[in-house]
Structure 1
Amino acid sequence: MEKEIYSLRSQFEIGLVTDTLVMLLDRGARVPLIADMPQVIPMLRGLLEGGLRHRHVYCRDTDGVYTEVVVFKERYDLELIESASQIRHFNRVLAKDSTL
């Protein structure tokens, strides 16, 4: 099944959704996905059954850099993922999910 690509000023796809995380993949429009977070967060709340609640939101940019979007009610904070083991884990999870 082909994944849908969402377009705001940025373009992204939802790479993975579980009970505990949402992985967003930037598709390289001229505006980075992170810049569209004020629009993306409410959109995700509406799209996902149960909203964001206890889910961690991560973004992977076109260079493979991961950022966690820490959501607090109506605001958010960005935290760069620098742990090599966490980056390897995300890459494996996304690769495994794409083969399903």
Structure 2
Amino acid sequence: MSYLRRIFNRLESAQNSFLGKLEITPWDERLRDIREKALLLFESAWAESNSKGISINEEELEGLYLFCLAHLCRSRGIAIPPEILPNNKKLQNLIKEIRS
């Protein structure tokens, strides 16, 4: 399995777990736009980390995507309990930089 395929499989699995914890069905109509924008934000954040020489492993990439997904869910009025997100300041700061 290629590196990117493995990463995107991990992102999909993390997303399913995240939505399950929120008790949101994968077919919720709000998710289409959220997923598309979360992926764009994730790609920007990943590229930014590479350009700054910030090393991010596969597990952290999963967390980075969850922070992007959470940000967009919050922007649509979906409450996100902080305990369902990874405790990773490096990723939190990276998302804050991208959003500003």
Q: Same fold (TM over 0.5)?
A: no
Give 1 or 2: higher helix fraction.
2
Give 1 or 2: higher strand fraction.
1
TM-score, structure 2 as length reference: 0.27
Greater relative CO, 1 or 2 (CA 8 Å, sep 6+)? 2
